[in-house]
Structure 1
Amino acid sequence: MTSMTAGRSDAALAAGFDTLARLLALTLGPARRVVLNDTGGGTAEGLADAATVARRVTALPEREATAGAALLREAVRTVVGRHGDGGATTAVLTAAIVRHARRMVAAGASPVLVRDGIRAAVRCAADALKGQASPVAGPDDLSGLVSAAGGDRALAASVGELVDVLGPEGAVVVEESVRPGVTHDYVDGSRWPARPAAPELLSGGGMFGGSHTELTLVDPAVVVADVVLDDPAQVIPILEAVRALPDRPPLLLVAQDVTGGAATTCLLNDRRGLVVTAPVVLTTAGVRRGEDLADLALLTGATVLSPEYGRPPERFVPAYVGRVRRAVVRSGHLSVAGGGGDRRAVTDLAARLRTRAWELGDGAEATTRTAERMWLRQARLLGRVGAVQVGANTEAEREDRLRTARRAVRLARTALRDGVVAGGGVAYLDCVDAVRAARAECADPDRAAGMEAVAAGLEAPFLRLVANAGRREPRVALAAVRALGPGHGVDVRTDRYLPIREAGVLDVAGVAVAALEAAGATAGVLVSASVVTGRG
């Protein structure tokens, strides 16, 4: 490859990166701009989320430009996939570091040594960020960081209150509401998605007949079957065993499905007053249903029935029965409270699930969904689940708000683990002195140049937030907060200079560190790209 060809390739790579970086920068902060994406046919969609914008930009006119955009897109995808936020911050930091580093390379600095300086400065700044982190003080802190990330104060208030009450082991389920606005509630006990079994058989006057929309069972016996029950021979031993119990409790029968002759037998027993029976089907999909049935059995002290375990329903014995204080069966879910299972076994499983969820949550995006599933399971076992219901006037607004809500829940939970730092770009500003002190001790001028690129880049999130708000000249605002001292910033919602933490403007420490580290790694690749492309 000739030097002229390599130069054109390097320039196209940088141009592709810059194109996507400019778009993503517009989405930073509560005063973020909307990026219009042409969907064809004379229509366009408005995008205000960095991760969504990055996914949409998949190709540019030149192949090398597409590769440059892909480098940034991968960095954004990684940070958002692992932490739920930080995509726009990653783009802004990366672009600023690369811009300053390019100038130094153009002036004759070694790209490789500049890259090494970038890495050293990022480590220094990351350590400074971690040193700034403090524990979440309460619902106001949680609401502040959620509001700063998404700009939705009603949603921020609901998520902040839920996460604060539920604690670091809690889970918040995001649900779609048909009515505009945001509401929230706490689940009493543990809840699984479920439906009454064979409703066509039950509608003729059984427990779910008429206008009844739910059934409450007090102190029921619980039987859990990881099998389809369709034969009377499968349920008769269960009904006889429950009927023989001293207090003749109602029966909560939870299975893969209850249909055919088995459902008819349950219905006849219920109508004759022999055993009040609520056959229920968990609607969890695939292998997850088996996990949920096992969790329910552990929580209630039941033993899962399955031929695979050597416990077919036909050979049911009373020792397989579990108990709960109360069960509520509705068309959409099953709730239980006061399970009679071994409490130590329940808490031990919850602890294992929680540990594994944190491990997977710090991995690739593909494992994040598994981590979320494990987190919900452990919270459900502990009875620490809440729900936030999100609605809007249009489908597009509702989808956007649902995405924001899910991101907010992850942010709030991560904040409980990692702590918070000052938002509004102030935490990065307060790392600049540490980086420049380290640069002053660096003997190699080219490495020092890379460190200075990071020091300058740390100002970029603050400058972009102010620019997106459109009320002040960013550099003037930067000079003003520098004069006020560490911890000061601009609350772009009120356009005031103040100690930014006092305004409740916070960022999750873990997300701030991850964005910086991803920016440093991507900037290093781009800065040294001329070395790579120059090798034929």
Structure 2
Amino acid sequence: MLNILGRSGGWTSVRFFAKDVRFGVEARSLLLQGVNILANAVAATLGPKGRNVLIEQLLISPRITKDGLTVASNVQLKDRRLDMGAQLLRQATNNTNNDVGDGTTTATILARGMACQGMHVLRKGQVNVQLLREGILEASRAVCEALSEMSQSVDTIGQVEAVAKVALNGDERLAELIGDTILELGDKGVILLKESHGPNDEVKFEEGITLPSGYCSPFFALKSGKDNLELGNCLVLLTLAKLDQVEQILPALELARVKEQPLLIMANDFAGDLLKILVLNHLQGRVQVCAVKAPGFGEEQRQEMQDLSLAMGALLLEDASWLTNLREEDLGEVVSAVVSPKETHLLQPIKVNEEQLQSRIRHIRQLIDEAVTEEELHRLNTRLGRLQGQLATIFVGGSSDLEVGERKDRFNDALHAVRVAISDGVLPGGGTAYLRCIPALDRLPPAQVMEHQMGREIVRDALRLPCYTIARNAGVNPDEVLRRVLAGSGNYGFDAASGEFGDLVARGIVDPTKVLQAALADAAGIASLLATTEVLITKRPIKPKIPRNQITRDLAKLVGM
């Protein structure tokens, strides 16, 4: 506590909170406790016989999952020193998820193994920690190269389904659903996940361009006698302006009348009086027209309308002043437009600049690679699907919200695994691929310094852990499984689902090459930092003061204070 002179001339008390500082073995021991808690929680989910984790959620039902990233994200420890260890390990899972979208559990197990071994080595003293870190990273790079050499390409839908089946913990029906979807869309197709309102899973394919906004007035569909309005050989006007006067769209209406074609107008907004005029023109048969509000808001709306203009071969009119000088080539044209109360389907655009469209697609794919949040990734994938003209949505069903959430997590992991498998190939699963890389470490040139050799040994021991953990979760003797798999060669490994040994690739038990590489690389980076930590600085815990009345006590208890 320090007393200082305030503005009014009086003395004011200012409190400075001390920090807790720990050194050497004690600091690493505290970090390791946090690492072990998080790793044990995540490791329980690995393999076809891995266990579920139940996660409390404030004010709503608990969440049940086998997704390693979800489990790791929810492990928060009360002790700040232990929580720092958990946070560092969580960073390995986040990095792997951001890189490939799968393999987070494997990354956690590898990182914990390397960190534990590294800390054990440092207890012996007289070790250069930076050289040790270099040895760990050098060995991990050698293993990644060996994985690339072993990689086998994915050429059939059966192999795709095998990858999905492993990620889905052996669920063949769901793996076939993903395989059928990719067979329909192709390996570059866009697949979205949504929650179903029923117990069954289903896939909905959307041809052409589908927008989440329908007609602005139900009177546009009055003459059709149905909810949907169908416009054949339709002109399309795209603008970001808010239309409030009929004079603004007279040039477009006149063009449609002269060409005797329907006109679809998509704008930021429409004034009520203008809508009445458009409906009247439509019902009286002067010009077949329909008004649709542009999807999205703000900058997001601008981007989606720019996408649409390229896909339609139209010019996006930025404001109302552009409408007065409208030319025929500024309008897009489609073979058919189907407009419902909630959606607009634009089928088979007629005039499209393929070069510009493909450039836009490449740009969005680059943004997808750089996306950080799930929301951003979902929005970019939706835009990509529209531009490519075909989109699939898998509606994930279940008997309860808990089941739907858990199955959606597994679907998401499976889709990511399938993507990277198609692009980079696959390897025998069950931890076998890592065991086959141990000889690659033996073939490295002799280490020049002792610490480099120690780093290689740390990575060598960690490569055994995925297979060991899968076997332990399956309820068999993990040491015996390791012995038999190491004695074999090639694709020979342990099938934890059936409890048998054999050719894992032939059995459809495979892991994407890129997932295994990313998991190892991220684990080595984080583990080497954990193992070489010397000082740990945290804030001392401060117990909040809770008012004594019963209501505030109950609220404080509810939020964990």
Match of 1:117, as an amino acid? G
Q: How does 1:11-410 map to 2 (within 5 A)?
A: 11-39=29-57, 45-61=63-79, 63-108=80-125, 110=127, 111-151=129-169, 152-199=171-218, 202=219, 206-207=220-221, 212-245=226-259, 248-307=260-319, 311=322, 313-353=323-363, 356-357=366-367, 359-360=369-370, 365-366=372-373, 370=376, 373-410=379-416
Q: 2:512 aligns to what?
A: 508
TM-score, reference length from structure 2: 0.85
Match of 2:187, as an amino acid? P
Match of 1:326, as an amino acid? S
**1:426-478 deviation per Cα after TM superposition (whole angstroms, max 9, x unaligned):** 2211111102332x7224333212101101111111111122222x2111112
Distance 1:332 1:139 in 2: 35
Q: How does 1:421-440 map to 2 (within 5 A)?
A: 421-438=427-444
**Which one of 450, 455, 468 corresponds to residue 455 of structure 2?**
450
**1:190-216 deviation per Cα after TM superposition (whole angstroms, max 9, x unaligned):** 2222222144xx2xxx41689733233
List runs of 5+ in structure 1 lacking aligned partners. Answer: none
Residue 2 of structure 1 and its aligned partner are, at CA, apart by 12
Contact 2:221 2:227 in 1 (8 A): no
Match of 1:228, as an amino acid? K
Contact 2:34 2:85 in 1 (8 A): yes
Contact 1:196 1:280 in 2 (8 A): yes
Q: CA 1:44–1:335 in 2, change beyond 3 Å: closer, same or farther? A: closer
Distance 1:76 1:212 in 2: 51
Task: Please say which of residues 151-160 and 138-147 is displaced more in the overlay.
Answer: 151-160
Q: CA 1:296–1:44 in 2, change beyond 3 Å: closer, same or farther? A: closer
Q: CA 1:254–1:42 in 2, change beyond 3 Å: closer, same or farther? A: closer
List runs of 5+ in structure 2 lacking aligned partners. Answer: 1-18, 538-561
Secondary structure in structure 1 of the residue aligned to 2:508: coil
Q: Which has the larger radius of gyration?
A: 2
Contact 2:62 2:402 in 1 (8 A): no
| Percent of aligned positions that are identical | 26
Distance 1:512 1:209 in 2: 59
Q: CA 1:213–1:390 in 2, change beyond 3 Å: closer, same or farther? A: farther
Secondary structure in structure 1 of the residue aligned to 2:293: strand
RMSD value over aligned CA atoms?
A: 2.7
Secondary structure in structure 1 of the residue aligned to 2:214: strand
Contact 1:426 1:489 in 2 (8 A): yes
Match of 1:71, as an amino acid? L
Q: CA 1:222–1:358 in 2, change beyond 3 Å: closer, same or farther? A: closer
Contact 2:430 2:467 in 1 (8 A): yes
**1:52-98 deviation per Cα after TM superposition (whole angstroms, max 9, x unaligned):** 1122122332x221111110111211211332222111111111222
Distance 1:404 1:254 in 2: 38
Distance 1:331 1:477 in 2: 59
TM-score, reference length from structure 1: 0.89
Q: 2:546 aligns to what?
A: none
Q: 1:523 aligns to what?
A: 527
Residue 371 of structure 1 and its aligned partner are, at CA, apart by 5.4
Residue 285 of structure 1 and its aligned partner are, at CA, apart by 4.1
Contact 1:353 1:374 in 2 (8 A): no
Contact 2:81 2:536 in 1 (8 A): no
Q: CA 1:371–1:34 in 2, change beyond 3 Å: closer, same or farther? A: closer
Residue 340 of structure 1 and its aligned partner are, at CA, apart by 2.0
As a proportion of its length, which structure holds more helix? 1
Residue 224 of structure 1 and its aligned partner are, at CA, apart by 1.1
The total of aligned residue pairs comes to 517
Residue 41 of structure 1 and its aligned partner are, at CA, apart by 8.8
Q: CA 1:30–1:251 in 2, change beyond 3 Å: closer, same or farther? A: farther
Residue 24 of structure 1 and its aligned partner are, at CA, apart by 1.0
